[in-house]
Amino acid sequence: MSWNPVYRLIKKIPRGRVTTYGELARTLRLPGGARAVGYALAACPNGYGIPWHRVVGARGYLRIGEPHRSLQRQLLRSEGVDLESGRIDMTLFGWSPLHGPRKRPRPRSKRIHSRERRN
DNA sequence: ATCTTGACTTCGG
DNA sequence: TCCGAAGCCAAGA
């Protein structure tokens, strides 16, 4: 079970961070794509310390149905992941197995044109 | 073999 | 940014 590459990778997700089904699928190059990850998680065993709750949809929504959904909310909240808006801000809490924490986009400034290019 | 369903993502309007 | 449609794949019925 926990020798499953999907689970192994999920174990690497840091506390307070989340990643997506698609990201995991891409990383592992799963032919089945994102859905395959969903299937793996549906069969996810308990008691192996697999932080299944840190896997969310590409847009920061929880894809699992009740009653597990509530548990996932609670677990994420306990780690400091903000869900108040109904979805997770991936620019803040997203994490990639390959690239680590997702880079926060530079605040869109209004005065871009007056900026001389550097580098 | 066909159809449905789901812990999905991307694209176009 | 929001929403529906389409693409996608494995499992069950």
Q: What percent of chain A lies above the pLDDT cut of 70? A: 84
User: Counting Cβ atoms within 10 Å, is residue A56 exposed (0-12), middle (13-18) or buried (19+)?
Assistant: buried
A48 Cβ contacts chain B strand, under 7 Å: no
The radius of gyration of chain A's CA atoms, rounded to the nearest angstrom, is 16
- Which residues make up the interface with nucleic strand C when CB must lie under 7 A? A 31-36, 39
CA A22 → C1' C4, Å?
Answer: 21
pTM over 0.95: no
Write down the pLDDT at residue A60: 97
Instruction: For residue A32, give the nucleotide whose C1' atom is nearest its CA.
Output: C9
Residue A35 CA to residue A41 CA, distance in Å, equals 10
CA A37 → C1' C5, Å?
Answer: 23
pLDDT digits (tens, 9 = 90+) for A36-91: 999 999 988 888 999 999 999 999 999 999 889 999 999 999 999 999 999 999 99
Residue A56 pairs in a beta bridge with A20
Longest dimension (CA), chain A: 57
User: Is the pLDDT assigned to residue A119 strictly greater than 60?
Assistant: no
